[in-house]
Structure formats: C-alpha cells, structure tokens
Structure 1
C-alpha cells in the first residue's frame, strides 16, 4: 500500500518549465511556481536562448577593439635642438618665421607652423607631425648653416663679403633728383637716393643670361610684403615691382650662396633687415633707375 501511494504521488507531481520559471503540479492539483535553476547548474544547457551553440560567446568590449594609435608629433612646444633650427629656417624660406632660428620651439614657432598648416589645408595643431613635416620638405630646400646659425661670426663675414673686383657704386645722373632706387649693375649695389643724398646702400644681384634684368628708368607699380611667385612658386619677401613681373625683393638663396646664383630677372637683395626698412620708405610711383 505504501509503494502504491508513492507511485501515485510520483505520477501526480509534474514539473512544467515555462520561460524563466518552473511550475510544479502538486498532488492536490495546485500550482507551485519555483525559480528555474541558473544555467551554471549541472545538467542545464550552457548556451543562452538567444545564442547559437556553434558560435563563440561574445568577447569583452576592450578585447574586441584594437588599440588606437595616435600620431606622435615630430616636434612640439618645448622641443629644442638642430631639428627645430631646420624647421624654423624652412619656415623662414616661406616668410612664415620672421625671426632668426633659435633652436627652441616656442609660441612664435607654433604660430608659424599653424600658418603653414592653414595654407596646406592640414589640421591646424601648431605641432609638427609627420604630414606637416613632409609637406614642408616638399616646398622648401635644405637650409644651410648660414640660415640655421645666423649669429656666428663666420657666417656674418661670409654674408658681408663683396664679389672680387667690384668697384664702388657710381651715381647715374638720373638718380640725383627725387626719390630713386638707384641700381648699378657694375657695382652690384642698390642705393636709396632722396634728392641726391644716399640714405642706404645694399648688395644686389641680377638675372641670368637668358632671364636678364631690364635696364632703364621705371616706376614702382605696387608692393607686396609676403609675395610668392606665381610662375616659380618661390617666396619674394618685400617685393617692389617696377617692370612687369620684375621686382626688387629679398632672396634667401642670395643670402646663402651669394653671387654663385642668379635671379629670373628680379633684383635680389641679400640683407633682409635693410630691405625691410627700405620697403616701408618706398612708395608706389617712386623712380627706379637700373644702369651699368
């Protein structure tokens, strides 16, 4: 009799699992909800309902994403050394850095880098990353020691050296009246004359054989402080145009290589500070006399 009752009781106990709960039918016909065992309970499936058994479980978020690499700047504020001098000298070739190279990456250098990045359509960070460095290399030439270390006595003597055998400037009669840029091809000089008196004199060089500098009497047509040649794409700081595309302007190449080179017809000046001072004195309409 006890065995029969046990079997009957066993037949009446029916467990129905629905969703996340188990409903037990008791011998008296009642329903008793119980919590389903966790998936980690022995005998239960280890795969969640929404997950296929042939797929790996999802990895953690930090493991699924590869670490992002940020571009490390080549140079930034606070940097020092020869590479900073080269950067400053290259920016000076484009008239974006208007001081002598110091070898220290400060606020002025950062502003010059930002100006270059703006011209080239690069992110304006003020720091020198690889993209900016590559773009700067493509539009400038390697600077010389005279450009990166302009304070040395050796450099100063080299810059001041005049070509051998050049005579003192001879004044042309056309230079003796009014405001005149009196330019002598014989002595390679430009003299700023005001009513027959010489105010300042500086060394100049002229065009090559196939691009000669024109001779005669001209007038300053217009001035451009930070001009860039539309033909040769080279900087022409403190340009004062007098005949078509020919102008008096500063030449970094002349300052570096002296009379070994030549212009494309312009009158090159190698003393930037002297020309900067002259630029502010000369006005459109002032006379230009170029003679042998």
Structure 2
C-alpha cells in the first residue's frame, strides 16, 4: 500500500503538469498582453503546404484571352448582266433603262456598247452605285424599284419608217399620199417637219391609229393600201417661176453685183435675188423690232431649214435661210396678215409664201447675203 507521502508527491506532479498544459494552450491562442491579430515577424516564412494538404485541390486554370471578333465583310454584289450577253432579261433591262431616259434605242436583247453606255449613265446618275457599265445586283435592284414592268410595246416597239427631221424622197411620197386623202394641203417638199407631222397626226386620228405624228409600219402599210402610187407631177408639182420686178440696180449695194446674192435693203424694205448682177426676184421684207435689230453686213447662208420651228420663241419659221447666228430670212404669217405693223426678233421676214418657197429651192448654202441701208 502506498504511503501518504507518495500520494502527495504524485498529486503535486499532476498539478504541475496541468499548469504547464494551460500555459502552452494560452501561447497558442495569444497571450494576455498580445493583440489578437499580431503580424508574424519579418524573418518568419510561410511553410509550403504538404502534399496531403494539396491533394484534394483542383489545379487553377490560367484565364484564356478572348479571341478577336472577325471584322465585318462587305456583302457580295454579284454580276447579273454584262457586255457580250444576249437574253430576254437584257431586253427587259433595256426597256427599263428607256423608262429612266438612259436608253434611246430600241430593245434588242443584246448587251453591246450602247447598253454598256446606258448602264454607265444610269449608274453615274445614282450616287449610291459604282459606275462600271456592268449590271450588278445593286444596280438591278435599284432599277427595279424605280421602273415598272415593261409593256409588250416597250419590249418590242413598232418599227419607225419615217419621222421628224427626215429629208428624202420617201417623205415626199408620204406627203403626196397624204395629199391624196386631204391631210396635206401644200406641195411635197421631202422634208419631215411640223407640217408633215401634223398631217400624219390628222391621218392617224381619222384612221383610228395611235396618234403620234410619226410614221410606224402600221401607219405606212395602211396609208399605202388606201392610196395610189404618186405620179411625178404629184411628187414634184410644176413650179411657176415668179417674174422679177423691175429694180433699180443703181441703188443696190455694190457687193450685190457679183455672184449669187440675197441683197437686202433696209431703206427700201426689199430683198433682191441677184445672180451675177442680174435681178432674179424682188420681195417685200421687214426687219427686227426695236431692241431686236437685224444686223447689217455681209454674210453667207450657212444653213437652210424648210419647216423650221423656233425653240426660243416657239414660232414657225418656214423656208428659213440662216445667215448670222439665229437670224435668218424666212416666211412670216404675221407679216402677211399685219404688214409693217410690227416686227421680228431680228430675222428678215417675207410675206409671199409661194415666191419664197421657190427662192428657198434656188438658194444654196454658201450664197452671199448683204444687208445694208
């Protein structure tokens, strides 16, 4: 049996061990005089984690850089039609270009130089299009939006036989045939001007045709079926040469005495047609009103226009013989009706229609014109 001394010694040892344990525990959580968040000293190092500590951790992946977005690319603009091709689609293209005023020829379905030029002109007039003369999708889409579905007449227009500005024997035959039916009341001239255009309109209206003033195949075929072939006298009626009035050659300008000359005096208000000093014809004339004076001097006839119509003053100028810019010798219905009560815009007016018609056929381009006081 243990002694009391031994028991007391064992008790003291246990008490000391308990105190030591408390002291160590207090150091591990911070002592009574320390801050709870005390920083480690500078020479302390953080130990690497043991393999066991890292065994359950997933490795950290490095963040990937985002791939750059591709830059936007232009939409493709495919070629639909271009030079050298032939198709009905090209015929439609030509008809639609005609609606915009960029194609003046008849549709042929062939994409040649004329069509290339028309396409380029259309593209140039539209700021959003590239000028290439080639029909890309963008050109076609815009053209479709600005035009209507071409009609049959637009795709296959009637063939023109004769029209304004033509000057030939076929026109003379047209005029003679129209005269047979009472639609042309002057002698045939061979020139297709305002008088002929009005006569054609009159005939087309009476015949139940489309009134255009232009002779297409349908108009010409019907007219020929309703008339006979004109005789030579119908084509070129005999012209009675007017007798020359007596003129005092002593009063004529000396420049009028040689060559072929339209000798025009402002003093006598007369035009004298001279050939090598011989009087051929004398006509009454009047001149430009105040502010529109007829110019004096020596000129030449540089252009003849049988059925001329002034675009500036919107008035007819039959048998016009131009000698200086827009000034010409021509027939004036106003002069015939009102005489010298008025004036022209600078031209030399003649009131004798038949005599001037004869003179117009006699005068040549290049003949001399002398206007003087």
TM-score (norm 2): 0.37
More strand by share: 1
Q: Which has the larger radius of gyration?
A: 2
Q: Answer 1 or 2: which has greater helix percent.
A: 2
